[in-house]
Structure 1
Amino acid sequence: MFEFPFINPQQTQTPSGWPGLGTRLLPLVLAAVLTCSGAWAGDTNSSAAKEPVTIEKITVTANKMEEDLVKVPQSITVIDEVMLEEKGIKSVPDLIREIPNMTASSSAHGNAVNFRGLNPSMFTNNNPVVIYIDGVAHSGREGFDASLANAERVEVLRGPQGTLYGKDAIGAVINIVTKKPDNDWHGKIGTEYGSENHMSGVFNTNGALIDDKLYLGLNGQYSQDDGWIENDNPERDDEFNKEDDRRVNLNLTMMPTDKFTARISLTNEYTRTYGIDGYGLLGGPRLSDFSRDDAEHVDMDARTRQITENNAQSLALSYDFGTVNLDSVTTHKLLEYDGTYDADFGNDPLFTGLTQFDDTEVENWSQELRLSSTNDEGFRWVAGVYFDTETRDQGPYGMQFPTGFGNFEMNAESETDATTLAAFGQVMIPFAEQFELTLGGRYQRIEKEIDMSVYYLPVGVSGPSMFDFKADKAWYAFLPKAAFSWQFADDWSTFVSYSKGYMPGGFNYFAQAGGVEENSFEPQISSNYEWGIKGSFERASVAASIFYMDIEDVHVYKAIGTMYVTDNAKKAHSQGVELEATYRPLDGLELSTALGLIEAEYDDYDYGSGNYDGKNIEMTPTHSLRAGVAYTHPSGFYGRADVRNFGKQYFYDDANKGFAKEDGYTLVDAKIGYRLDDWDFYVYGRNLTDEEYVSMFMSNSMVGLISYGDPRSFGIGTTYYF
C-alpha cells in the first residue's frame, strides 16, 4: 500500500520498565481509595458537611438499558451537559482529553485515537474507540468527531465493548446520549470569538409539534479559524492551517401510542482543512530535526487541503411489550473525502508543483434488531442480530515524485466491499442479594473483497496498470464477556471482568506485487482482564481500576521505500491503572482528578531485518493526569481551571528503524464567566503556558512529517438559554 507520509499518526511507543505493574500498583490503588474514603467519610461531622452538597445517582445505558452507574461492572466515565458547558467541550477530541489513558492526535486524515496502548489501523481506517450517537456508529479516522450541541451526557465505556457495540470497539465506546424532547420548547444559542480569528456558533432547540405525539429537534454548530502557521510562499494563501467546520442534525420523534416510539435522525457534517499543524523535511529526518518555531512559518508551493463530508441517516423504532422491548436501528452513512497535499510539505525545487492525493467515498448500511428486558434491576438480558455492508471506493490515491527520467506518479484505484453478520446476547444474573454475574458474547462473520489497479506513469500521461490485485477473505470470531460484581454497600461496588476485543483484518490499499498473503493482514485480537471499585459518599465519588491486556496480531505499519503497508506484530501487552475522583467540600466548589498509568510493550514484533521485542507501543504516554477546580458563586460568577500532564511517549520512525522519544508536557486551561438570568458570559484561555508539544510524527526514506499541538489562545463567548 502506498501511504502518504503523514496519513497514519498511529505509530508511537511508550517507555517500558514497570514489570508486574498491575500487581505492584494494586496495593497503592487500594490505599488511595481507602485513604480518600477515610478522609471524606471522616469529614462528615465538620461544619462543611452541613452544606447541602451531594453526589447524585447517575444513570447510564452502557448495556443498552438504563442502569445505575455504580452497579454496572465496567469502567465508565460520565460527563454531563453542565460539565460539557463549563469546560468548553465542543468536540470529541476535547472530550478525549478528559479520559485517563486516552489521547487523540490530528492529522490530514482526521483524528487518530490511542487508548490503553491501542492505536488506529491504517488500512481499515478504524480507531480503537467507536463513537455512537443516535444509533449511528463511527470508528473511521476520517471525520472522527460529532456534534455535542444536543448532548444530555456522554458515557465513555472503557475497555472492549464488542459484545453489544460491534466489531470495531476493541478499546472503548464514546456513547453520546442526546436530550429527550418534551412538550415545552427549550434551546440555546451561543457564539465565541478568539485567537487566530477563531469564530464559532452553536444552536439547539427541541420541543413538541403535537403535544405527546410528535417532537422536533434541530441543532448545529459551526467553527472557523485562520490557524497559527503562515505560508511564506507568494503563490499560496498565507493562512496555511486554517479550517472551517459545520455540523447540523435534524430529528423527529413520533409517539403514536404510549408503547411505540419512532425517531428519524438526519445529520450533515462538513469539514474543510487547509494544510496541517506542522511541516515536512526531506531525506528521512529524525524527530530532533524539527521545532515548533520552524513550523510557524513554512514555504509550500502546492495546495494542501482536505474536505470531508459525512451524511448520516438513522431510523430507530422501539416497541414496549410490557416485560420486553423490541428495538430496531437502521442507519445509512455516506462519507466523502477529498485530499490534496504538497508532495514534500516544503518547497524543494525537485518537487515544485508535485502533490499527494486521496479521493475516497465510503458508503455503509447497517441494521440491528434487539430484544431486551424492561426492568432495570433483577434478572436482565439483551439479545439481537446485526448486519452491515460497506463499499469503499478509493482513488485517485497516491503521489507524484521526481525521478532521473522526469516526474512520475503512482496511483492506486480500488474498491473494497465488506459484509458483517453477527448475533449477540448478554444476561445479568443477580444472586445472594449483593452479587451479580454478567455473561455475554458476540459471534460474527466478516467478509472483505478488494479489486485494485496500481498505475506507475509519467505525470499527466494515461496508460495501462502496473499491477492488478483481486482477492476476498472471510474472518470468523466469537467475542465473549464475563463480569462478576459485588455491591458491598448501598453506593459502592467492586467488579472483576474478562472480555475479548477485536479489530477487523483487511487488505492494503496500495501494492506492487504479491498475492493475498503479502497484501492482507489479520484481525487484531485482545484478551482483557480488569478489576475495579467505584462508589460515592455524600460529597465525593471515586472510581479506580487495574487492567491487563494480551494483544495478538497487532496492526502496525512499515514503509517499503516510500510506501506504507499494514502488517501484524505477533504479540504485545498493556497494563495499567486508572483513577477518577470528584470532591465537593462546599456548595459551589468542586475538585476533580483523573489519573492513568500505563505500560504497553511489544512482546513479539519481527519487522524483517530485526525485531522490536520489548519496545514500547507508539503514541502511548506513560501517564495522563488531570486536576481541576471549579467554583460557582450564588451571585452568578463562576470560574474553573484545569491542568493536564502527559508523560513521555514514543513515535515510530521507519526511516531510521527505531522509536523517537518525546518528553512529557503540561497544559493549563482556564475559564471565568458570569450567569445572568438566561445569559452566560465568559472568557477563556487554553494552553496558558504556551507549551510546545508534538502530537504526531512519521518518517520514511523520502520525507518526515510532524504535527504540533495548538499554541496559547484566548477567547470570549456568550450563550443564551431559552
Structure 2
Amino acid sequence: MKQQATKLSYLALAITTALTSNFAIAAEQENESGLEVIEVTARKTVESLQTVPVAVTSLSADELNESGIEVITEIQQFSPNTTLQRSRGTNSTITAFIRGVGQQDPLWGYEPGVGIYIDDVYMARPQGAVLDLLDVERVEILRGPQGTLYGKNTIGGAIKYVTKEMSGDAELNLNGTLGSYNQRDVKLTGQYPIIADKLYVGFGYANLQRDGYGEFLESALPGQDTENYNKDVVSARLSLEFRPTDELSFALKWDKTDDESNSKGGYRLLPSILTEAPVPDSVYDSYTSLPTTNKVEVEGMSFTAKWDVTDFTTLKYVYSDRESYSPTNIDFDNTPLRIFDVPAIYDDEQSTHEIQLNNFGDNYTFVSGFYYYDGESCGQFDAILEVLGQAITLPGLTREISGCSNSTSKAAYAQLSYDFSEKWSMTAGARYTKDEKEALVNNHLHFQTVYPESGWVDGYVRPDDLPVTEVLNDSQDWSKFTPRIGVEYQATSDIMLFTSFSQGFKSGTFNPRASGPEPAAKPEDVDSIELGMKSQWFDDSLRANITLFSLDHKNRQYISVLPGENAADLNQRLGNIGTSESQGIEAEFTYLAAENLLLTANFGYIDAEFTEVIDYDENGDPFDKSDRFSISNTPEYTYNLAANYTIESEVGDFIVNASYYYRDDYVLFEEDSLLTQDGYGLANLSINWYSMEGNWTAGLHVKNITDEEYMIGGYQFVAPLDDGGYAPGLGGDNTLIAYYGDPRTISLTLGYQF
C-alpha cells in the first residue's frame, strides 16, 4: 500500500506540474468565451460539473453525435477506468465494470455492480441495457460507490441516461444512416404542444438494421439465418408532459425495444476434438447446433410529478414499471454438434416508487427521499450435453435449471451539503436499506434432449410430464447503512479540492444454479476514499479534473465449480470468498486551444488485485488461492486523446472530430483466466456538417480505422496441461471461446429538422 501511494503521489505531482508549467504558454492566449458550463444531476439536483465533488463524466447529445456514438457501450472510451461491453451471447445485454467492480454473469438473481438508470429510473437487469441513443440529452458516468443517493448495486458506479426535456416548440427530426455491412438506420423524433405552454407530447422511433460481421459456417439446423453479429432493433418512445402552473408539472413516459438480432456465435480459439470443423478464418465466424434466432423485449413506463412548494423546496414523486423477456440461444462449444448447448429464457419484472424532497438555501443543499423496489427475476436454461467424448454419444442428456429470485428493497436517504464559509464546505449523507429476497431453484437431470419450450426447434414438442426437482426454496433479508462524508475547499473561484469517504453494497443473493440447499451469499461491500480537484485555468480555456481513489472490496461473491460424478453435474457453489483492493487515478482535460479548436484527453490508471480468496480442500480445511485470481475486465490503464476542429464556410460549418482510445491488456475471467486481451487502440474519425439555416446535418464516421481485433467476452471449459496443451472440459471438447468487438465501420448520417 505504501509503494502504491508513492506511485500515485508521483503521478499526481507530474500532472500538477504539467498544469502549472507545460500549459503556462497558453495563459498568453486570450479567449473571450471560454469553455461552456456543463450541468449534471449526479447528486439528484442540477449543479455545475465543476462544483460536484464526485468523479463524473458528462457527454452531451452534441458530443455524442459528433463522435458518431450509437450505443451506450461506446461511452467507455470517454470515461477513465470504465468498461462497458456487450455480453457474450447477445447484442443487448451489458457487461459493466468501473474501477474493477462489476458483474459479468447475467443469470437471473445475480445483481450488477454498476447501476444503469434511465431518467433516474433504475434498470435492475443487464438484459436490454445496451441502449441505443435515441432522443438523449446527455449521459453521465459516475465513478465510485454511489450507495447514499442511488443505493444498492452501485458499488462500482452508475450510468445515467438522460432523455431530452420538452422545449414547448413543435419539432420534427428525421435521421437516416447508411454504412458498412449494409447498415441502414432510421430515427424519427419530435414533439408537439397540444396546449401552448401547458401540455406537450413527444415521440421517438428507431429502426436499426445491419448485416452480420461474420456468418455461421455450418449448422445442424438447415434453413437458419446464417448472419453472425448482425443487428435488428426497433425502438420507440412516447412522452406526455403537463405543466398546469409554473410550480407543478407531470410527465408520463413509455419506451419499448425489440431486439431480434441473431444470437451471437463465438470464435473457437482451439480446434474441436469431436468435429472436423476447423478454427474459422474470421473471428466473427462460428458454428452452431442451435437456432440462430434470438430476442430481447424490454418495455417500461414512468410517471413523475414535481411540485415546487416554495422557491427553495421541491417535492418529487417517481413511479416506474419495467419488464423484459428474452428467449436466447447460447452455443457454448460453437460446433454443429450438441456438445454444450444452452437454450434459455429470462423473464423479469420490476416496479419502483420514490419520493424525493429537496431544499436549498444560500449556504446549503439538502436532498432526501424514500425508495421502494419490487422485482421478480425468473428464468430457465437447459444445458444439453449429447456428446461427452470421442467414444461417448448419448441419445440425449440435459441438465435443466429453472427458478425465480423475487426481491423487495426499501430505503431512506438524506444528504446535506453545507457551506461553512466562502471556501470551506462539507457534504454528509447516509442511506438505510432493507432488502428481502426469496429464491426458488429447480435442478434436474433429464436423460433426453430438452428445450425450454415446444417449437424451440422445428418439430420439437416438450413433454408435459417432465420431472422437476426442487433443490432450494429459501428467503433471506439484509439491512445496510451506507454513509458518505466529504470536505470541499474552494481554493479560488476556479479551483475546488475535495476529499470523501463513501460506502456502497451489492445485494446478497441465492445461487440460481444451486444443486442443493445452500445459504445465500452475503452482500458485497465497498469502502472508497477519494481525493480530487475540479479546476479551470487560463480564463476558463483549460478544464482539469483529477481524482485519486482507493477502495476495499469485501465479501466478493463468486461461483466455484465443484467436481461431480460426471461431466453433466454442473455443480456450482455461490459464496463470499474474495477480498480485493484497488488504487488509481483519473484525469480529464478539456482545452480550448483556439476559438475553433477543442482538445480533450482522459487518462485512467488502476492497480487492482485480490488480497484474499478463501476456498476449502477435500478435508474441509480453508486455504488462500488469491494467487490464481485477477480482477477481470479492468485494464491497468486507459486513455483517450481527441481533437474537435470547426471550419466555417459559406455552405455551413464543418466539424472534424478525431480520437484515439487505448486500453491496456486485461483478463476476461477472475479465476485462472485463459483469455487475456493484449493492449489495443481504436482510432476514430468523424466529419460533421451543419447547414447555414441549421435544419440540415450530415455526418461521416469511420470507427476502428485500423480494424483492430479485440476480445470482449468468452467461455473457458478446458484445463491447461503442463505440456502447453489442454484437457477437455464440460461436454468433452476443447471449449475455449472468444467474442469480439466491432471491426472497422464507415457510416454516413443525414438529418433534417422540420
Please give the TM-score of this superposition, normalised by the length of structure 2. 0.87
| Counterpart-to-counterpart distance in 2, 1:214 and 1:436 | 41
1:290, distance to aligned residue in structure 2 (A): 11
Q: Which residue does 2:212 correspond to in 1? A: 227
Tell me what 1:14 maps to.
none
Give yes or no for contact 2:228–2:284 (8 Å, CA) kept in 1.
no
- Match of 1:557, as an amino acid? I
Deviations 1:40-75 (A, max 9, x none): 4552334xx2x5441122222111111222121111
Quote the Cα distance in structure 2 between the aligned partners of 1:566 and 1:418: 18
- Alignment of 1:529 onto 2:529: yes
Distance 1:54 1:476, change over 3 A: same
Asked if structure 1 preserves the Cα contact closer than 8 Å seen for 2:40 and 2:140, the reply is yes
Counterpart of 1:693 in structure 2 is 710
Contact kept, 8 Å, 2:560 with 2:574, in 1: the verdict is: yes
Q: 2:646 maps to which residue?
A: 632
Contact 1:284–1:704 (Cα < 8 Å) also in 2: no
Contact map agreement 1:435 1:487 (CA 8 A) in 2: yes
1:297 to partner: Cα distance: 3.4
Structure 2 counterparts to residues 186-205 of structure 1, below 5 A: 186-205=171-190
The answer for the alignment partner of 1:300 in structure 2 is 288
Unaligned runs of 5+ in 2: 451-462, 618-622, 718-728
How many angstroms apart in 2 are the aligned matches of 1:648 and 1:525?
27
Give 1:163's match in structure 2, choosing from 148, 154, 164.
148
Matched with 2:256 is 268
Alignment of 1:102-501 (within 5 A): 102-106=82-86, 107-108=88-89, 110-120=93-103, 122=105, 123=107, 124-233=109-218, 235=222, 236-276=224-264, 278-280=266-268, 293-322=281-310, 323-342=312-331, 344-348=333-337, 351=339, 355-375=341-361, 378-402=363-387, 404=392, 405-457=394-446, 458-460=448-450, 462-501=465-504
Residue in structure 2 matched with residue 601 of structure 1 by the alignment: 609
2:511 aligned with 1:508: yes
1:433 is matched by which residue type in structure 2?
A: E
Query: Cα distance, 1:488 vs. partner?
Result: 0.9
Structure 2 counterpart of 1:715: 747
Q: 1:291 to 1:555 in 2, by over 3 A?
A: farther
153-162 or 494-503: bigger deviation: 153-162
Does the CA-based 8 Å contact 1:343-1:399 persist in structure 2? no
Q: Residue 617 and residue 477 in structure 1: after superposition, are their counterparts in 2 closer, same or farther (change >3 A)?
A: same
> Is the 1:305–1:341 Cα contact (8 Å) retained in structure 2?
no
The 3-state SS of whatever aligns with 1:95 is: helix
Given that 1:182 and 1:208 are in contact with CA atoms closer than 8 Å, whether structure 2 keeps it comes out as no
Cα distance, 1:260 vs structure 2: 1.0
Distance in 2 (CA, whole Å) between partners of 1:467 and 1:119 is 30
- Structure 1 CA distance, aligned partners of 2:96 and 2:417? 31
* Aligned-partner SS, 1:164: coil
* CA root-mean-square deviation: 2.4
Query: 1:478–1:151: structure 2 CA closer, same or farther, 3 Å change rule?
Result: same
Alpha-carbon distance between aligned partners in 2 of 1:438 and 1:506, rounded to the nearest angstrom = 32
C-alpha deviation, 1:400, in angstroms: 4.4
Q: Following superposition of structure 1 onto structure 2, how do residues 612-623 of structure 1 map, counting pairs within 5 Å?
A: 612-614=625-627, 615-623=629-637
Cα gap change, 1:401 to 1:573, in 2 (>3 Å) = farther
User: 1:147, CA displacement in angstroms?
Assistant: 4.3
The answer to whether the Cα contact below 8 Å between 1:136 and 1:312 also exists between their aligned partners in 2 is no
CA spacing shift, 1:696–1:608, aligned 2, 3 Å: farther
**Contact preservation (8 Å) 2:409, 2:435:** yes
- Counterpart code for 1:540: L
- Which residue identity is paired with 1:208? P
Shift of 1:369: 0.8
Could you tell me which residue of structure 1 aligns to residue 677 of structure 2?
662
Change (3 A) 1:247 1:564: farther
| C-alpha distance 176-463 of structure 1, shift in aligned 2 (>3 A) | closer
Residue of structure 1 equivalent to 2:722: none
Contact 1:121 1:555 in 2 (8 A): no
Measured against aligned partners, the alpha-carbon deviations of 1:548-606 in whole angstroms (never above 9, x if no partner) come to 00010112333345455543233111111100001111111111111001111111113
- Flag the 1:445–1:416 CA change in 2: closer, same or farther, 3 A: same
Distance 2:630 2:497 in 1: 31
Equivalence map 1:86-101=2 (5 Å): 86-101=66-81
Dislocated runs of 4+, deviation >6 Å: 281-285, 289-292
Question: Could you tell me whether the CA contact under 8 Å between 1:181 and 1:208 is conserved in 2?
Answer: no
Of 472-481 and 202-211, deviating more is: 202-211
Q: Structure 1 residues 509, 587: closer, same or farther in 2, change over 3 A?
A: same
Alignment check: 8 A CA contact 1:284 1:699 kept: no
Secondary structure of the 2:386 match is: strand
Say if 1:574 and 1:547 are closer, same or farther in 2 by CA, change over 3 A. same
Bigger relative CO (Cα 8 Å, ≥ 6 apart) = 1
Tell me the equivalent position of 2:460. none
Report deviation, 1:672: 1.6
Q: Which residue of 1 aligns with 2:4?
A: 21
What SS does the aligned partner of 2:19 have? Answer: helix
> Which of 474-483 and 32-41 deviates more?
32-41
Overall identity of the aligned pairs, in %: 25
Q: Counterpart of 1:206 in 2: which secondary structure?
A: strand
Distance in 2 between residues matched to 1:345 and 1:668, nearest whole Å: 31
* Higher mean displacement: 317-326 or 201-210: 201-210
1:163 is paired with a residue of what secondary structure?
coil
CA distance, structure 1, for counterparts of residue 359 and residue 585 of structure 2 = 34
For 2:400, the aligned partner's letter is N
How far residue 277 of structure 1 moved from its aligned partner, in angstroms, is: 5.6
Residues in 2 aligned to 1:181 and 1:256: alpha-carbon distance in whole angstroms: 14
1:673 shift after superposition: 2.9
Q: Partners of 1:45 and 1:357 in 2: how far apart?
A: 64
Note if contact 1:283-1:704 (Cα within 8 Å) is conserved in structure 2: no
2-structure distance, mates of 1:648, 1:415: 37
Cα shift at 1:653: 7.5
SS in 1 for 2:372: strand
Distance 1:628 1:277, change over 3 A: farther
CA distance 1:67–1:291, shift in 2 (3 Å): farther
User: Alignment partner of 2:102: what SS?
Assistant: coil
Tell me: CA distance 1:246–1:378, structure 2 relative to 1, closer, same or farther (3 Å). Answer: farther
Q: 1:673 to 1:242 in 2, by over 3 A?
A: same
Letter in 2 for 1:683: L
CA distance in 1 between partners of 2:625 and 2:281 (Å): 32
Structure 1 residue 127: deviation in Å?
3.0
State how far apart, in whole Å, the 1-side matches of 2:610 and 2:54 are. Answer: 26
Residue of structure 1 aligned with 2:575, choices 560, 563, 567? 567
Give the whole-Å Cα distance in 1 for the aligned partners of 2:26 and 2:255.
49
Per-residue deviation, residues 370-401 of structure 1 (Å, max 9, x unmatched): 111045x5211111111111112212554443
SS where residue 168 of structure 2 aligns?
Answer: coil
* Secondary structure class of the residue paired with 2:57: strand
